[in-house]
Structure 1
Amino acid sequence: MNLEPQQRFSRRRAAVVVFIGLTVAGAVIGAVWSVLAPSAHGVVALTRSGQRVQTYLGSESDHLFVAAALLIGLLTSMAIVAAVLVWQWRAHRGPLLATALWVGSIAAAGAAAGVGALLVRWHYGPVPFDTAPVTPENRIFYYSEAPPVFFAHGPLQIATTLLFPAAIAALTYALMAVATPRDDLGAVPPMERAPV
């Protein structure tokens, strides 16, 4: 049986390829993010009463927001590009590939957050609040804090970070489907309309 290049995959296999491709792309984005995300420079100091305090230098605490926003931006860009690329696979357009796209986008966001968090944690280590070598003779210790992948650690903020790229991918795919004048979504080969 001689199949055209676009039809050598079944729809199910095409959905698996989309899911795995997005997950791998998410891991790569996490690695790229770990290099680009700015760390926050802080200080642990010993007060006159012997208490440890921690603060950020100048406006360095803004980097905690910027790093999480950078990850969202990278994932959003990936979601739009992925939706356009998946739409180009004309032979498999439809609900199964759309589902693979948004589920894969969630997996990509999870992979990006996981890989990114592991890499920055490995590079910067934990915040040294309890282990900072501050003494009455040397009261100040400077450090760099790993950038966060989420805006906060609450379940709502984490879920929003994971679901936002999926929503953007689904919306992009849906807009292309709505803009297609044909009922078969421009499939190749074209489907003939049933007589009315």
Structure 2
Amino acid sequence: MTTTSTEPPRLSRVQAAIRVVAALVVAGVVVGLAWAWLAPPIQLVIALTKSGDRVRGYVGDESDLLFLGAFVMTGLLFVMAVAAAVATWQWRSHRGPVMVAALAVGSLLASGAAAGVGAAVARWRHGAVDVMGAPVSPEHRVFYTHEAASVFFGSGPFQIAASVVIPAGVAALVYALCALSTKRDDLGAWPPEEVPVLLVPSGISGPAPTTAADPPSDPWPPSPR
């Protein structure tokens, strides 16, 4: 019997899981700041109709930037989830279900932190659109302004939930693929499991193949007709 030994970890599994979650939350804040810097503002117009109503609309194809902003946020979170899963897998002594749970919870919290920080910083940079306070009058019926890009693809609860859950699913999937690629049942984690290995003494070769190992032939061949 032989074993593949690894050094015992200095941290417990719970402590390691807490560190993974905390690191992912910090990464989410960084993603939110990066998104607020990368996402372009959206130009829009506020107009006063003949009936005295205030309406808002987008200039040209500026409405496409709503999709672009949400796409950039999803792409950044996707990259973060893949990188986090690969980095967590490298922590060999703590591989296992606890790390998968920490990775999923941390990715959820990171998505929420990225969306919250990104929306807050973008609002601080570009301000909020006040339709009722826009300086429009019968003499100047059109007012041009801009607003921050959208963090999510929509304002519905299912759209928001999907945007938050997707990074956690991607991280868990990448971690599962890494687990499938290893040959050990214990994933190489601590404590290592014993792996039985058949040791053949030197100078002794295996048994030579004989004719008995071949499948027997039919003793009664079919008679010709």
TM-score strictly above 0.5: yes
> Quick one: which amino acid aligns to residue 76 of structure 2?
L
Q: Is 2:144 the counterpart of 1:142?
A: yes
Secondary structure in 1 matching 2:170 = helix
Answer 1 or 2: which has greater helix percent: 1
Paired with 2:56 and 2:90, the residues of 1 have a C-alpha distance of 52
Give the structure-2-normalised TM-score.
Answer: 0.81
Name which of 30, 33, 38 aligns with 1:31.
33
Give the conservation status (yes or no) of the 8 Å contact 1:40–1:64. Answer: yes
Residue identity over aligned pairs, in percent, reads 54
Higher mean C-alpha deviation, range 88-97 or range 177-186: 177-186
Paired with 2:130 and 2:64, the residues of 1 have a C-alpha distance of 19
Task: Identify the residue that residue 200 of structure 2 maps to in structure 1.
Answer: none
Q: Over alpha carbons, which structure has the higher Rg?
A: 2
- Where does structure 2 lack aligned partners over 5 or more consecutive residues? 1-5, 198-225
> Quick one: which amino acid aligns to residue 108 of structure 1?
A
Paired with 1:80 and 1:100, the residues of 2 have a C-alpha distance of 14
State the shift of 1:178 in Å.
Answer: 1.0
Name which of 52, 65, 68 aligns with 1:66.
68
Secondary structure in 2 matching 1:53 = strand
State the shift of 1:193 in Å.
Answer: 3.0
Paired with 1:114 and 1:53, the residues of 2 have a C-alpha distance of 28
1:1-196 → structure 2 map (5 Å cutoff)? 4=7, 7-187=9-189, 190-193=192-195
Paired with 2:51 and 2:25, the residues of 1 have a C-alpha distance of 51
Higher mean C-alpha deviation, range 147-156 or range 24-33: 147-156
Paired with 2:193 and 2:92, the residues of 1 have a C-alpha distance of 12
Paired with 2:148 and 2:133, the residues of 1 have a C-alpha distance of 16
State the shift of 1:188 in Å.
Answer: 6.1
State the shift of 1:139 in Å.
Answer: 1.3
Give the conservation status (yes or no) of the 8 Å contact 2:92–2:189. Answer: yes
- Where does structure 1 lack aligned partners over 5 or more consecutive residues? none
Q: Structure 1 stretches (4+) deviating beyond 4 angstroms? A: none
Paired with 1:138 and 1:38, the residues of 2 have a C-alpha distance of 27
When the two chains are superposed, the root-mean-square deviation of aligned CA atoms in Å is 1.8
Paired with 1:194 and 1:13, the residues of 2 have a C-alpha distance of 32
Secondary structure in 2 matching 1:97 = helix
Summarize deviations over 1:44-66 as a string: whole Å, max 9, x none: 01123322221101100000111
> Quick one: which amino acid aligns to residue 124 of structure 2?
W
Summarize deviations over 1:48-94 as a string: whole Å, max 9, x none: 33222211011000001110111011001000000000000000000
Give the conservation status (yes or no) of the 8 Å contact 2:9–2:190. Answer: no
